Amino acid sequence: MSDAQQTQATNHSTGLGAMLRHAREAAGLSQAELARQLNLGARIVEAMEQEDLQTLPGAVYVHGYLRKWAEYLQLDEQQLLQAYTRMAGELRNNNMRHTTPIEPMRMKKPGSNFPWYKLLFFIGIVGLGLFATRFLPESMRLIVTAQETPANTVPNAQSSTPVLPSIPLLPPPEAKPTVPPVATTPGIVVGESLTPANTVQAVQAPITPTTPSAAPSLPGLELKGLGNAQGSWVRVKDADARVIFEGILAPGNSKQLDGKRPFEITIGRASELGVTLDGTNVDLKPYARSADKAFIPKLGSAPSP
């Protein structure tokens, strides 16, 4: 209510404030005296006469005050209440709306509270999975190709690197300037029966070169299952700590591997596995651990120039 309206309302003869003030003056009371008589605060009496609706509390209180007024000053209660209702109609609506709680402050309805973040999280997980599977085959191709490499097919001596086409991480050995001349034909051939054709200097001490035999040898690492029992579990990691082979090698089977050197080889049953690096037999005894296990931390590490 603007000031002009307020003044108008106050000046109006039927205005509530004017009615109250006239009645009080007719009774010869001051505002403070009336407030004391009605047991109300002086501020409230003043607000009532000024029709200051902002200061006054809700309708229920004002109705109560007006009843007191009417009783004490012998006024018509209904008339006062009606005058207030007329005057405060506007504000009352506001009050009603105010009683209706403010929406944004409130909790959302449970129905609309859909867990979008959970959905996003889920989509993210699925996306990550897809992303990973796109790339996994390539990384796994090392193993796949290694496994696909027929272990029994004896590699030809003519083809020096026939089974390493799909290792992109490994540059062609010839392109490696850091590789010393002795290692120009990298790759290990594991296996006792398979003796390398190219006699290559073993890079590490435990690797004892075997005598050249008729069997063709290949550069790279060859694993060969020996014995006649269960075979041996073996895991080969390359220099990047990537598993390039893991599995059980049955007796008679062999595995041709290559990758970035040096290799890290863990063997479950050393007595039933032969390891050949670049055609050189690797003696597993220095690496033996308890219960026929063996662990070769570095095999075929190229000495840096």
Partner 1 sequence: MGLWNVAQHEALPKTQGIVTVRNLVKFTPVQSIFIKSLISVNQYLMFKNLFGMFSADLSIDLGTANTLIYMRGKNIVLDEPSVVAIRQDGGQSAIQAFGIEAKKMLGRTPKNISAVRPLRDGVIADFHVTEKMLQHFIRKVHGTGLLRPSPRVLVCVPVGATQVERRAIRESVLGAGARKAYLIEEPMAAAIGAGINVDEPRGSMVVDIGGGTSEVAVISLDGIVYSASVRIGGDKFDDAIISYVRRNYGMLIGEATAERIKKDIGCAYPGRDLREIEVKGRNLAEGVPRSFTLNSNEILEALQEPLYGIVQAVRTALEQTPPELGSDIAEYGIVLTGGGALLHDLDRLLMEETGLPVIVADDPLTCVARGGGRVLELIDERYSPLFSVE
Collapsing DSSP to helix, strand or coil, 282 comes out as strand
Q: Name the residue nearer to partner 1 (CB basis): 59 or 154.
A: 59
Residue range at the interface with partner 1 (CB under 8 A); choices 7-15, 95-103, 211-219, 291-299:
95-103
Residue 221, strand partner residues: 257, 277
Q: Name the residue nearer to partner 1 (CB basis): 28 or 110.
A: 110
Helices (H), 2-156: 3-11, 16-26, 31-38, 42-50, 59-73, 77-99, 116-148
Burial status of residue 238 (CB atoms within 10 A of its CB: 0-12, 13-18, 19 or more): buried
Binding mask 38-77 for partner 1 (x = CB under 8 A): xxxx-xx------------xxxxx-xxx-xx---------
**Tokens in use for 4?**
């002009």
Options 31, 85, 95, 301; binder of partner 1; rule CB under 8 A = 95
Using CB under 8 A as the binding rule, whether residue 101 contacts partner 1 is answered as yes
Residues 234/210, Cβ–Cβ less than 8 Å? no
- Nearest distance from residue 235's CB to partner 1, in Å? 57
Using CB under 8 A as the binding rule, whether residue 140 contacts partner 1 is answered as no
CA distance 120 to 123: 5
- Nearest distance from residue 8's CB to partner 1, in Å? 27
Residues 272/225, Cβ–Cβ less than 8 Å? yes
- Applying CB under 8 A, what is the total number of residues that bind partner 1? 28
Using CB under 8 A as the binding rule, whether residue 133 contacts partner 1 is answered as no
- Nearest distance from residue 92's CB to partner 1, in Å? 9
Q: Name the residue nearer to partner 1 (CB basis): 101 or 177.
A: 101
Using CB under 8 A as the binding rule, whether residue 134 contacts partner 1 is answered as no
**Tokens in use for 183?**
């290692």
Residues 175/168, Cβ–Cβ less than 8 Å? no
What is the binding site for partner 1 (CB under 8 A)? Answer: 38-41, 43-44, 57-61, 63-65, 67-68, 95, 98-103, 106-110
